[in-house]
Every structure is written in structure tokens, then in C-alpha cells.
Chain A
Amino acid sequence: MAALPLAQVPPGTDATVAELRAQGGMLRRLLALGLHPDSQVTVVCMDRGHLIVSIAGARYALSRGMAMKILVTPAVTPAGAGA
């Protein structure tokens, strides 16, 4: 399954972080929060790309701009999610 931006993953999906397309301070912040390649992310809820994710038990809110920079591999295909 190819990597896709976190902003395009349906709610309820578990995914693995594939790549972080952020630099400098933003990258540092993501890493400190536990969003590093190979870490597990669960999308709790989402509204047009703005989402709340759960990472290692903690919950973060991301705007669409941020969520587009995080590429993930979903555990299930988007089409099959929610089924």
C-alpha cells in the first residue's frame, strides 16, 4: 500500500508513519511528539483534513497544512475502512 498524506486517511484508521516532509522547527516538534518514521498513528476524528490523531496514547490536533506533510501507510485500505 502506497504512502499517502495523513489528511487523506479516513477516521478510525491505524497507520504507520512513512515520511515527514517538514523541516527545522516543525520537524523537531513532530519528532518530540513521537511522530517519527515507523511510529503508529490512529486517526480519531477528522473534518476536511483537520484531524485529531492518537500517537502512543497521547492525542494531538493537526491542521490540514500539517497533516499534508505527514505521509503514512494505512493498515487497511481507505476504501475498506469503516466497514
Chain B
Amino acid sequence: MRKSIRVALAGNPNVGKSTLFNAITGSHQHIGNWPGVTVEKKSGYVKKGEYDIEIVDLPGTYSLSAYSIDEEVARNFITDEKPDVVVQVIDATNLERNLYLTTQLAEIGVPLVIALNLSDMAEKRGDAISRQKMEEYLEIPVVRTVGSTGDGVQELLHAVINEAETSPHHEHTIGYGDAIEAIIVKIVSALEADAALTSQYPPRWLAVRLLEGDRAVREKVDAGPAGEAVRAVLAGTDPDELEAEMADRRYGLISAILPQICTLCVKKMSPSDLIDRVVTDRYLGIPIFLALMWGAFQLTFAVATPFMAGIEALMGYFSSVVAVSGLPEWLISFLDGGLIGGVGTVLIFVPNIFILMLILAVLEDTGYLARAAFVMDRLMYAIGLPGKSFIPMLIGFGCNVPGIMATRTIEDPKDRLITILVNPFISCGARLPVYVLFAGIFFPENAGTVIFGLYVLGIAVAIGSAKLFRSTILPGNPAPFLMEMPPYRLPTVPTALLHMWDRGSMYLRKAGGVIFGIAVVVWALASLPLGVEYGSAESLAGMIGHAIQPLVAPLGFDWKIAVALLFGFLAKEVVIGSLGVLYGAGEDGGALEGAILADPMFGPVTALTLMVFVLLYLPCMVTMAVIKKETGSWKWTAFSVLYGLVIAYAVAFIVAQAGRLLTGGI
């Protein structure tokens, strides 16, 4: 009979928690709906002996005060879902702050195991941490781990099983001093009236949380039979003052045991300090950031081009095989026009996406992204956003879905809402294929610069919109900036690749799923009614396109583009997939580029207008769903869609008109 154990992985941000999670679970992961950031519940499985162990990776948090949404998610999981064991991943190079979370976890009373992670780094710099002393003082098992090499993973699992089997109940308490203890006793006795609540949570923990002004706990207690009595005890206490006092006691405890467990934890100036002085310099900071970004995009294209050519050649080969295969004509049309033209056209851009994701992963893993957020804070503040919004925006370059989910670390609700609303203007990876295709055809000499310009336009619109929202519908000042700058770390190749795969594979799955489905639909619409010339104006696609074409005619778009944009709502790369189907790319072995170049409707101005429109026009379907989920409001979701359409139309119209005036062409 196999036994199952459920383990929650908790810890501060930047302690190598995700790396350790990967080392424990390997490929046996169930990555929630949206891979990329550890915001959603990410679980993995591992077998050891007769045990099936499920590991749930909680968001990184500094405390369990439920101050930000991340903290709330982590806290609620531990208190409400009651995992069998909680593993706190601790950064061995930064014991003091990490132990603060330990004191809070211990107070909840769950079985706890400490993974002393990044131990190699602590040892390398000469720290001598005694695990025996740590276990003795904390009464918690401590295991030495190194996530990047997998050291200590087996020992950790062993400790987890041991803890789950024996589940020793520790009464971990911290003395808060006579005055506070007296109030705690009063609250605990008042809480006795609420048996339902105290059977679910330890009464002392509830009392401590109430004193610290925890709103969620307060609501739970208020709703129950003990509500009135507790309110009476709390009346006249100042949560801010008490919280500071209690934090002081916790740190007092930590600083009392720290010299015992770590004899050589010396403070040194690290090379990080020097790098920080350069990359956050008043004059150099922003130019360094822009240069890195520009370099990233140049690299994306330089490295991807040979891979793209390879995939394109492969598609051409499939196409020629299909053409002479002797299959029924409708099937050839489907394989060639629908499948190769639709899905194949999208697949060509996989190398771009993966390289962009890799660069973003490296920037994040080295610790530079946090500095970029700091450098941009003053700029961000000026436009009405906190510097923290910068990270969701940067992640948005990969995909808006994890970008919007990353806003959960922003505490202020208005700051967060604005950051969510402007995120769709940040040009995600799915829009890249559209740019690569059209910039490649019409601006072959300056493709990199044109694409960089589109990214800048997206940022400009995001900034302008934030400023607009801040001065109209969501007034106020952004919260002051306060963020951890993780130490610079050289990313390991496997971690960076795993990160890239996490984010890039979503694009592949989309190509196989929704994009395949749309390609089939577009192909059917282009082929029906029976007997009509494929993709002609008389086909269903042609009729739909002609019906909506007047709307986009002022932008210089024909019916094919109208259809492509309509389907592009489902996923923006579908725009070229649909065009690929409608132009019958693959037929005659010619690719989409040739067909577009031969179309007299298309010129540089139309191409640029289309790229601008695709950049801005709508959050894609998945992004829209996540906006709804994160804002919890259909009103704001609808606002985001309508606002995007209006802005896209206005900007594209200006580009189309100005372009025609300036160049005299289309």
C-alpha cells in the first residue's frame, strides 16, 4: 500500500526555491495553466520508497502577513489546505531575514522542515553554519541542499517523510513580553466561544494575527460567535505599534540564536556592490538598460534566422511532397493550404520566441531585472506607476499572461489595476511573428530597427495610457518603491533552458491546439461553399471579410487582412497563420512572403499600419481571460478591450495617413 504525502514549499523570494523544486520533481511537474512565473499553484510529484510525495511550490514571500496577494495565497494554502509538511527553503547566505518567516511558519504549528539552500555559496564565502545547533534551537529538522546540483534532495525527502510519519507536534511559541502576552491570553480565552474556528486554527496563532491587524483573520473571527468578545479586547490596541513590538521580539530571538548557529557569518562588501553602482548609476543606468534591450532584439534575429530558414525549407519540402502525393484534391488543399499554410507559417517563428524567452530568462536569473526595475522607478513614478510594475511589463514581452499574473506582487490595488490594463500594449512574443514577416518583406534592410520601434511604440502607448488613467479614472500616487535586489548569480545552463522551455513551450502547445483549430476553420471558410475558387471573394471567408472590410478600409486593409484580424483575437500569431491559409501559402511551393509581395494591395505603409494595429488592437483571448480573473471584473475587462480597439484604430489611422502623405505609396 503506497502512502501519499503533501508537501508545501515555502520561502522568501530569490532563495532558489524554483530551482530546488525542479531538482526535486524533475520532469514530473504539473504546471498550472500558465507556466512562467511561480504565481499559480505549481505542483510536482516524486516517489521515494513507498511514498508518493506531492510538492506544491508556493509563491515566494517575506512574511505570512497576507500583505500582498502572493502572501495571501501562500498563507491560505498552509492554514486552510493543511499540507502534511511545510518545507521552508532558506537562503543560507541570508539567515537573519529568512528566519523571520520561519518564526511565522512555526507559530502556525504545521510540521516544518528547513532546506538550507544555496549552502555551497555560503560555504564558499566562508560561512560556517551549524545545522545541529540550528535544529537544537529551532526544534526543526534542517537539511543542507544545493538546488542547482541537486545535492541534499534525497536527505530532504527523507526528513519530510520522517516528519510526516511522526508528525511531532511542536508548540513553537515566541514570548512577546508581559504586556502583549496578557492580551494574547485574553483573546485566546475569548476565542473559546468559537469552537469551529479554533479547531481549524491554533488559537494562539489567531490571537497573534489579530494583534497584528490581519484583516482576513479579523473577518473570520468577526463573523463567528467570539466576534464581540474579541472586538472588546482589541479595542484600544494599535496594530502598527504591536506589530513593530512583536517583530522586534522575533528579531530579538533570531539575533540571539544567530551567533550560536553561524559562527563565521561575516558581512562583506560583495562584487555585487560594484556592479550595482554602475548599472544603477544616475546617468548610465537607463542607457545600459536600453542598450541591453536593443542588443537582445538584435540577437534574437541574428541567432534565429538560420533556424527559421531551416523550418521554412522543411515546410516547403512537405508542401512539394503533398503536391505530388496523388491524394484527393480536397485533402491536398487542406494539408497544403490549411495545415502547412496555417500552422506551418506560425511554427517558422518558434526559434524567435525561444531565443527571446531565453534572453528574458537569463536577464531575470542573473538578478539584473530587479535593477532595471529600480533604474526605471523614477521614470515609472513620473508616469504614475510604481517601479515594481516594470517587471510585469518586461515579462509581458514574453507573454502578457504571466506578465499580468506577475502584478500580484504589487500591493496597492490601483497600482495593480493600472499595471494590468497597460500590460496588453507590451508587445508579447506572439506578435513577433507578424513583425518578423512584414518587416522582413517590406523593410529588409532595417527589419531589426522597425521591430525595435514597434516595441518602443507599445511601451509609449502603455506609458501614455498609465498617465491617462492616473489623471482620470484611477487618481492617486503610486506606492513608494521597495524591492529586494537579489545577488547577482551566473545562471546555470539547465536552469535557463528550463525557464525558456517553460515559457516557450506554451507557444508550441498553442500552435498544436488553438492555432491548428483556427487554421482548419479558416481553411473551411476559404473553401466553402463547395465549388468556389479557394480563398476567393465568393468563399465564406471572402464574404465575412468583405462584410467587415469597410470598417478597416480607412486603414488600407483588404478583406483578407480583415478576416486575419478577426481570428487574431484568439491568438495574435493567428494573423499570419490565417493570411497563410487565405493566400494559400505552400501552394506552388511558394511561401507567404512571395504571395504578399505579389499582392498589389500591400506596400510598406499598409504593412507598417498592420503591424501597429496588431500590436495594439486587443488583448488576445487568453490575456482577456486572465484580465478578468485578476481584476475580478467584467467591467474592467470590457474596458481593456474597447480601449485597445480605439487606441489601435486611432494610431493605425495616423500611421496610414501620414505614411501615404510622406511616401505617396501604400
Taking Cβ atoms with an 8 Å cutoff, the residues of A that contact B are: 20, 23-34, 36-39, 42, 44-45, 47-48, 50, 52, 54-66, 69
CB-based contact B100/A34 at 8 Å: yes
CB-based contact A52/B244 at 8 Å: no
Q: A50 — which chain B residues lie within 8 A by C-beta?
A: 374, 377-378, 481
Among A27, A60, A63, which residue has its beta carbon within 8 angstroms of that of B244? A27
**Complex formed: what's the CA distance from A55 to B213 in Å?**
26
CB-based contact B240/A60 at 8 Å: no
Q: Chain B contact residues (Cβ within 8 angstroms of A): what range?
A: 35 or more
B94 at the interface (CB under 8 A from A): yes
Can you name the residue of chain A whose Cβ is closest to the Cβ of B127? A57
CB-based contact B62/A29 at 8 Å: yes
CB-based contact A39/B480 at 8 Å: no
CB-based contact A57/B267 at 8 Å: yes
Among A20, A31, A38, A61, which residue has its beta carbon within 8 angstroms of that of B483? A61
Can you name the residue of chain B whose Cβ is closest to the Cβ of A48? B282
CB-based contact A27/B240 at 8 Å: yes
B364-379: CB near A (< 8 Å → 1, else 0) gives 0000001101100110
B477-492: CB near A (< 8 Å → 1, else 0) gives 0011111111100000
CB-based contact B374/A61 at 8 Å: yes
Can you name the residue of chain B whose Cβ is closest to the Cβ of A37? B248
CB-based contact B247/A31 at 8 Å: yes
CB-based contact B377/A32 at 8 Å: no
**Complex formed: what's the CA distance from A31 to B487 in Å?**
20
Q: A66 — which chain B residues lie within 8 A by C-beta?
A: 480-482
Among A24, A57, A59, A64, which residue has its beta carbon within 8 angstroms of that of B276? A59
**Complex formed: what's the CA distance from A26 to B387 in Å?**
16
CB-based contact A58/B62 at 8 Å: no
CB-based contact A57/B212 at 8 Å: no
Given known contacts A20-B244, A52-B276, A61-B374, is B480 in contact with A32 (CB within 8 Å)?
A: no
Q: B623 — which chain A residues lie within 8 A by C-beta?
A: none
CB-based contact B97/A56 at 8 Å: yes
Q: A36 — which chain B residues lie within 8 A by C-beta?
A: 244, 247-248, 251
Taking Cβ atoms with an 8 Å cutoff, the residues of B that contact A are: 62-63, 65, 67, 93-94, 96-97, 100-101, 212-213, 239-240, 243-244, 247-248, 251, 265, 267, 272-273, 276-277, 280-282, 370-371, 373-374, 377-378, 381, 387, 411, 479-487
Could you write out 16 A-B pairs with CB less than 8 Å apart?
A24-B239, A25-B411, A28-B243, A32-B100, A34-B97, A34-B251, A45-B273, A50-B374, A58-B97, A59-B272, A59-B276, A59-B486, A61-B371, A61-B377, A61-B482, A63-B378
Given known contacts A58-B97, A65-B480, is B63 in contact with A32 (CB within 8 Å)?
A: yes
**Complex formed: what's the CA distance from A75 to B96 in Å?**
21
CB-based contact A57/B93 at 8 Å: yes
CB-based contact A47/B280 at 8 Å: yes
A36-B248, A66-B480 known, 14 other contacts, Cβ within 8 Å: A23-B240, A32-B97, A32-B100, A34-B96, A37-B244, A50-B377, A56-B96, A59-B485, A61-B387, A61-B481, A63-B381, A63-B480, A64-B480, A66-B481
Q: B480 — which chain A residues lie within 8 A by C-beta?
A: 26, 62-66, 69
Among A27, A30, A42, A56, which residue has its beta carbon within 8 angstroms of that of B94? A56
Q: A69 — which chain B residues lie within 8 A by C-beta?
A: 480
Q: B251 — which chain A residues lie within 8 A by C-beta?
A: 34, 36, 39
Q: B377 — which chain A residues lie within 8 A by C-beta?
A: 50, 61, 63
Can you name the residue of chain A whose Cβ is closest to the Cβ of B277? A45
Given known contacts A30-B482, A57-B267, is B244 in contact with A44 (CB within 8 Å)?
A: no
Instruction: Indicate the member of A23, A44, A59 with the most B CB atoms within 10 Å.
Output: A59
**Complex formed: what's the CA distance from A44 to B14 in Å?**
19
CB-based contact A33/B248 at 8 Å: no
Q: A55 — which chain B residues lie within 8 A by C-beta?
A: 97
**Complex formed: what's the CA distance from A59 to B370 in Å?**
11
CB-based contact A44/B240 at 8 Å: no
CB-based contact A33/B94 at 8 Å: no
Can you name the residue of chain A whose Cβ is closest to the Cβ of B411? A25
Q: B63 — which chain A residues lie within 8 A by C-beta?
A: 28-29, 31-32
Can you name the residue of chain B whose Cβ is closest to the Cβ of A20? B244
Can you name the residue of chain A whose Cβ is closest to the Cβ of B488? A59
CB-based contact A52/B381 at 8 Å: no
Q: A47 — which chain B residues lie within 8 A by C-beta?
A: 280-282
**Complex formed: what's the CA distance from A58 to B392 in Å?**
23
**Complex formed: what's the CA distance from A58 to B265 in Å?**
13
CB-based contact A58/B94 at 8 Å: yes
Instruction: Indicate the member of A28, A39, A54 with the most B CB atoms within 10 Å.
Output: A28
B46 vs chain A, min Cβ distance (A): 30
**Complex formed: what's the CA distance from A13 to B285 in Å?**
22
B198 vs chain A, min Cβ distance (A): 25
CB-based contact A61/B94 at 8 Å: no
**Complex formed: what's the CA distance from A66 to B282 in Å?**
18
A29 vs chain B, min Cβ distance (A): 6
Q: A64 — which chain B residues lie within 8 A by C-beta?
A: 480
**Complex formed: what's the CA distance from A65 to B381 in Å?**
11
A41 vs chain B, min Cβ distance (A): 11
Given known contacts A33-B62, A59-B485, is B276 in contact with A45 (CB within 8 Å)?
A: yes
**Complex formed: what's the CA distance from A56 to B94 in Å?**
7
Q: B387 — which chain A residues lie within 8 A by C-beta?
A: 61, 63
B214 vs chain A, min Cβ distance (A): 9
**Can you list the 4 inter-chain pairs with the closest CB atoms, starting with the nearest?**
A63-B481, A65-B480, A32-B63, A31-B247
